[in-house]
Chain A
Amino acid sequence: MEILVYGTINSVSLALMGLGFAMVYGISRVPNFAHGALYIVCGFVTWTLFHKIGLPYFISIILSLCVNGVLGILMYRFVLIRVRGMNISEIIASYAIGLAILEGFRFGGFRGMTYTLPVFMEGSLMIGSVPVDFHRLIMMVIGILLVAGLWVFTHHTRIGLALQGMAQDERAALMLGIDSDFMAMLAMGFGAVLAGVAATLILPLGNIVVESGYHVLIMSIAVCIVGGLGSWTGAFFAAFIIGYAQILTVVFIGSHFQMVVALLAIILTLILKPSGLFGQQKELEERV
């Protein structure tokens, strides 16, 4: 029972971390290595707005999500647009931005364990014999709603359909008047907002520390590689696989092996099925 409940919660939080990365990569083919940094930015901005400026919690969250979106758009508009299509440079550029942001925070004095955000709702609930606090439940509900919302967005709105078209065949989308640079910029903005959503949901459970930026980056890459780069459904299912695997390791082997699971998953996937569970690109290449 414990495994089931905490496995699901862990999986949802992994899915939340990975979604933004998967979305940006799926649409613009830019691996956004600043994803973890954006996640942390949202945490610290919310913290600053809430604790230093004294805005209501909800408003500081909304504002910091907006900040994140704008940051993502600016990052694409001024840096990544110049290197788009050059695979290595994309990674170097986005990772450099991420490093600059994360280490900038560290340099600016955001160190230690003192930065926390309040949970949405105090208290806990018993599911069977397992106590679960409300915040984790809220996180799960919002996570699932978010996935459902994204599905509706990409299947039923003009912009969402255009994003989907671009993800599948950029040039064919271009022929239909879908401007790929504009769409990639939008995708980057959405990805940044998704990183922010993940941050606002997950960070109240612990401290906001710079290191978790790197952790989130690794986890989201693991999720995306296992699920197949560029596939959102893949990322979602992979999050569940890794999530449960992690909890199982925690229960049966020991909690410090948790991180190994994600990295092992990457390695195993690359050896056994390099295109990932739901990836198509490599398979296409093999066919050609």
Chain B
Amino acid sequence: MLEAHDLMVFYENMIALNNISIKCDESQIVGIFGANSAGKSTLMYSLSGIMLDIRKKELMAGGERITLRGEVIFQSQNIMNLKPSLRAKAGIVLCPERRRLFKESSVLENLRIGGYLATKAQAKHTLEYVMEVYPALQKLKNRLGGFLSGGEQQMVAIGRALMAQPKVLLLDEPLLGLSPLMQATLIKSTKAIQKEKKISIIIAEQYARPVFPIVDYAYILENGAAVMEGTREELMNNPDVKSAYFGVS
């Protein structure tokens, strides 16, 4: 459904993504694991097209020169040069790192801004669905986005992305800075969303352990390159992965 072939991204002369090819099939949850600066966010930005916007802004401000190579295929079409807003319309929606909520808007408004691409009926339906998946938001409806805890913010961020009617949902570090309890809740709800909405989800995360149980397939990034990939079982039984990402020797 969503594939990247030989994706390369350079910031000036520094290579951020090195020949990465990944693939996410329909109704699959794919994990992307790697340490800080392994290239997870760059990969997510490249898939969702935000990289094009970053490149444009950098060019305008006279900042870093960003070079993109390779192809991103979505529903057997090359979308490498498609604008990010059109990619979102096609169904690739990114829920960004650090959530980036609209801090001065209420939770409800955040969700409704997310529903920009949805029809009225879809928006209404999805809004109900979000409240059902995250009942905690029900009480916080009128609270401003900036006054929420990290976990609540993440729920709103995922809900907001869902409002855009994604076919592929990209979650960039959804568990960043959350308590283990909150992490477990979010992961469970992510799985539930995937099942209910029949969408594909790509999760980029530093710590593989909490996410691993729900992924169907995973890639491990190191310094911008995919050093390992495999189904959950394959990676689980790989001694290198065990020691590096699960802390089991």
Given A164-B105, A165-B102, A175-B48, CB of A180 within 8 Å of CB of B85: yes
B117 at the interface (CB under 8 A from A): yes
What's the nearest-Cβ distance from chain B to residue A276, in Å? 15
Given A168-B102, A168-B104, A172-B96, CB of A178 within 8 Å of CB of B116: yes
A residues near B, CB below 8 A? Answer: 83-86, 155, 158, 161-162, 164-165, 168-169, 171-180, 182
B160 at the interface (CB under 8 A from A): yes
Chain B: residues with Cβ within 8 Å of the partner, total of 36
Asked if residues B94 and A175 are in contact (CB atoms below 8 Å), the reply is: yes
Residues of chain A with a CB closer than 8 A to B60's CB: 83-86
Q: When the two chains form the complex, which single residue of A84, A173, A179, A182 contacts B113, counting CB atoms closer than 8 Å?
A: A173
B residues near A, CB below 8 A? Answer: 48, 50, 53-54, 56-57, 60-62, 83-86, 88-89, 93-96, 100-105, 109, 112-117, 160-161, 163-164
Given A85-B60, A168-B102, CB of A174 within 8 Å of CB of B84: yes
Other than A85-B60, A168-B102, A171-B53, give 7 A-B pairs with Cβ distance below 8 A: A165-B116, A168-B104, A169-B102, A172-B100, A175-B84, A175-B93, A176-B88
Most buried by A among B62, B89, B104: B104
Asked if residues A176 and B109 are in contact (CB atoms below 8 Å), the reply is: no
Residues of chain B with a CB closer than 8 A to A161's CB: 105, 109, 112-113, 116
Q: When the two chains form the complex, which single residue of B53, B85, B95, B105 contacts A165, counting CB atoms closer than 8 Å?
A: B105
A171 and B172 alpha carbons, distance in the complex (Å): 14
Residues of chain A with a CB closer than 8 A to B104's CB: 168
Residues of chain B with a CB closer than 8 A to A176's CB: 88, 93, 113-114, 116-117, 160-161, 163-164
Asked if residues A168 and B117 are in contact (CB atoms below 8 Å), the reply is: no
Asked if residues B57 and A175 are in contact (CB atoms below 8 Å), the reply is: no
Q: When the two chains form the complex, which single residue of A86, A158, A172, A179 contacts B85, counting CB atoms closer than 8 Å?
A: A179
Q: When the two chains form the complex, which single residue of B95, B109, B115 contacts A164, counting CB atoms closer than 8 Å?
A: B109
Nearest chain-A residue to B115 (Cβ)? Answer: A158
12 interchain pairs (CB within 8 A)? A83-B60, A86-B62, A161-B116, A162-B113, A164-B109, A165-B105, A169-B100, A174-B50, A175-B88, A176-B93, A176-B117, A177-B164
